Amino acid sequence: MKTHYQILIIGGGTGGIMTAAQFLKKDKTLNIAIIEPSEVHYYQPAWTLVGAGTYDFKKTARPMAKVMPKGVEWIKDYATSFDPKNNMISTKGSGNITYDYLVVAPGLVMDLSLIEGLPEALDKGVVCSNYTNPNHTWEVIRNFKGGNAVFTQPTTPIKCGGAPQKTAYLAADYFRKHGLAHKTNVIFATPGSVIFGVKPIRETLMKVIHRYGIHFKPFYAPYKIDAEKQIIYFRNTSPDESQYIITEDNPLGESLKGDAVIEMPFDMLHLAPPQTAPKFVKESVLVNENGWLDVDHYSLQHKKYKNIFGLGDVAGLPTAKTGAAIRKQAPVVVDNILRLIQHREANNASYNGYSSCPLVTAYGKMVLGEFDYESNFTPDPELKKMLIFDSSKEHWRLWILKKYMLPYLYWNKMLKGKKV
């Protein structure tokens, strides 16, 4: 096996595969390797639909060998540490590998230890997560008979920040369709202050919450689960304590312990586990103070090591971690590295924080939240042409986009380096 590559990519997820494919579209002679231990590549955006019983989990998986671009060397191994001064990374089984240019795109990892009781509770009984086992989520929703259905998210950044609320909307729709709405409290509890940061999308989603009668609980930061007693514990993170007056005999059975701890019983619990950069990234010299890859927000070039770039979920960018963001990030990384190869400056600083969140609001309805670093609503011009309506409002055509068109585009265009 070779031990030096012109371009070395860590990660065979959306970011790594797309970037490699786009490089080869520009120049087939480039010498590229991808380090990726997994045998299977998943289309995770469909897991929300799997968890609602409307998509087959098997269809979200393809063998990694099938999506690996032809002309790229696949190093089936784990990256374990960086030595950026010597342009080198270490691996678990393949020794040290050196590079001219490095692209860091290993995604993120679930850190269940950040919520007490979560490792023991997750994917068992009535505690579920589309992030780890969407088939179990569907089982829990299908078997639910009434009571408190609690949906929450952690205090860490997560991939597709809108996913926990999509699951709440689909579950609420399912309960309504199956005559359970009258004996069910659907609760969406978030450490955040609003349901969504982009104003036109937020206005639509508040109508959705009102339509289902969802109990929306901002400033609820989950920190502990007692799966046996079926209680979840939140810290009240509100800057204004007067917002948190919990009365006795409230319909959700909540109780306040001390000044800031809220106990809430549940009959089903769906959550996004806390998420962090992988350990070998988090413990390296390449991260910012929050433990994410320290790249320039606009050029995606590492702030200290100029031949290192990062994209996707591992990047320390103040925007949502989504596949749609990678679609806009990959061309910037490719262009900048090609400039460096040509002994030019990596001065493409055109990534504006674009990300998008397809927010499924019912079986057959969706809103498309597209935004930039400033939380401006920024509909993609090509998509706008195709849809010919306001994507900040619920529409059945957006559901078709989510369920049928986006998976097709992902497998057949994005992963093959074609323009989408």
Active site members: 160, 357
Angle at 252 between CA 250 and CA 255, to 5 degrees: 65
How far apart, in whole angstroms, are the C-alpha atoms of residue 361 and residue 165? 9
Residue bearing tokens 């969407």: 134
DSSP string, 42-97: E-GGGHHHHTTTSS-GGGGEEEHHHHSPTTEEEE-S-EEEEEGGGTEEEESSS-EE
**Phi and psi dihedrals of 330, rounded to 5?**
-55, -45
Q: What is d(CA 128, CA 122) in angstroms, rounded to the nearest whole number?
A: 6
What angle separates helix 199-212 from helix 163-177, to the nearest 10 degrees?
Answer: 30
CB 75 within 8 A of CB 91: yes
Sheet strand arrangement including 255-257: 220-226, 231-236, 261-265, 255-257
The full DSSP string for 35-49 is E---SEEE-GGGHHH
Distances (CA, A) of 45 to 10, 123, 377, 394: 21, 19, 21, 19
How many Å apart are CA 303 and CA 94, to the nearest integer? 28
| Phi/psi of residue 344, nearest 5 degrees | -110, 175
Both tokens assigned to 63: 């063998």
